[in-house]
Structure formats: structure tokens, C-alpha cells
Copies of this chain bind each other. A is one copy, B any other.
Amino acid sequence: MAAVDLTTHPGHLARRLQQAHYLLWNTMVSEEITSPQFAVLNALVAEPGLDQRTVGERVGLDRSTIAEVISRLGRRGLLDKVRDPQDGRRFLLRLTDDGLRTHRKLTVRTARMNQVFLAPLSADEQSVFFELIQRVADAAEGLRNPTEPLAAQR
């Protein structure tokens, strides 16, 4: 009786979108390397020598999750992890040659997959798609990460 229409619930749509993407990634990009793992590789291509926490910040993963992902990438020999001699709390991360190669290979496939994934939208619609999702995600992240938490509301 009082059931709700989930197609107007952004959370439900976001989950379905991610599932669809997961599926396509598995078939078109890689069964070994996942999309979050690729994001980490990509962050380290852009900025080699980052520490774990910062990589997590770049790709949007919390401290626990980034630790797991990095440990998996390390086990596969795609990156190296060394203590920062300047700050014994940090681990500095750097891709191995294998990691670099893997990133290059997956970059190509990822581009192809994105084309297929976005094929139902025109070029204009794709821009709107990106922009709207980003606005919503950024705003929600802002709610959690209050730069100036005081006197903002009320």
C-alpha cells in the first residue's frame, strides 16, 4: 500500500549504476584488477611516492579500505611500499614496472569500456551526467567534511 517508487531514489539508482559498471568492467577491462585498484594505480602514476592516506584521499577510500587495496596490489607486485625515512609513521608508495605496464594496458581498455557504458547518452548528455553526479557527490561529501563546522547553520 504505502510502498515507494525506488526509481526516484538517488541511492538506489547509484547502487544499480555501480553494479552495472562492475559487470561491464569485469567483462571488458579486467577480472583481476578492480576499478578501485585501477584508481590507486592511476593516482600513483600521477604522483609517485604518495603515502597511503593521501592516495586514499585522492581516490575516495577511507584508511581501512585503502590499506586492503594496497596490500592486494603489493601482493601482486604492482607497487612497492617503503617506510618514509623522514616520518616513520608513513609508507611511501611507488609503482613497479609491472604496475606501470598494467596501468597503461588498463587505461586503453577502460576508455573503450566507458564508451560502451555511456553509449546510450549523447555527448551533451554525457557532460550533464558527469556534472550533475559530481555536484551531488561533492555537496554530500561537504556535509560530512565541514571545513568550517562552526556557525555554518542555525
Residues of A within 8 A of B (CB): 1-4, 6-25, 35-36, 39, 42-43, 45-46, 59-60, 103-104, 107, 110, 114, 116-121, 125, 128-130, 132-141, 143-144
Nearest-CB distance from A59 to chain B (Å)? Answer: 7
Is A2 within 8 A of B129, CB to CB? no
Contact of A7 among B14, B116, B130 (CB under 8 A): B130
Is B1 within 8 A of A45, CB to CB? yes
Which residue from chain B places its CB closest to the CB of A100 in the assembled complex? B2
Q: With A15-B18, A60-B19 known to touch, is A6 a contact of B136 (CB < 8 Å)?
A: no
Is A136 within 8 A of B118, CB to CB? yes
